[in-house]
Amino acid sequence: MNPWEKDIGYAQVVQAGDTYHISGVTCGGSNYQQAVPECYKELQKVLDKLQLSVKNVVKENVYARDIEQFKAQIETRKKFYGNTEYPAATWVQVDRLYSPEHLVEVELVAVK
């Protein structure tokens, strides 16, 4: 459990039947080359805890403070999904995330 869950009032994962709604993982750093791999590394940990794989992911939402910088890291994202089948996806540029130092947030929906 992320310590923020209780403080802010949210759940990292909500299961509804065979569907898992995974709250956004936020990542910062000095640049997107650091932030994007960190987000997907953390998401992999969440999937592992749920005994799911990237093949279970059906939807991805990305919120980036600079969408062009996120797009420049597309190979990192594609590698996360195994460079084969990808989920439905929405990518949105936002002014800021919950914490100002965060550059990107990625949330997933997965089905077992």
Residue type at 106?
V
Neighbours of 104 (CB within 10 A): 28
Contact between 29 and 103 under an 8 Å Cβ cutoff? The reply is yes
Contact between 20 and 112 under an 8 Å Cβ cutoff? The reply is yes
Q: Which domains does the chain have, with CATH numbers?
A: 13-106 (3.30.1330.40)
Q: What is the pLDDT of residues 21-41, one digit of tens each?
A: 999 999 998 999 999 999 999
Q: What is the pLDDT of residues 38-88, one digit of tens each?
A: 999 999 999 999 999 999 999 999 999 999 999 999 999 999 999 889 999
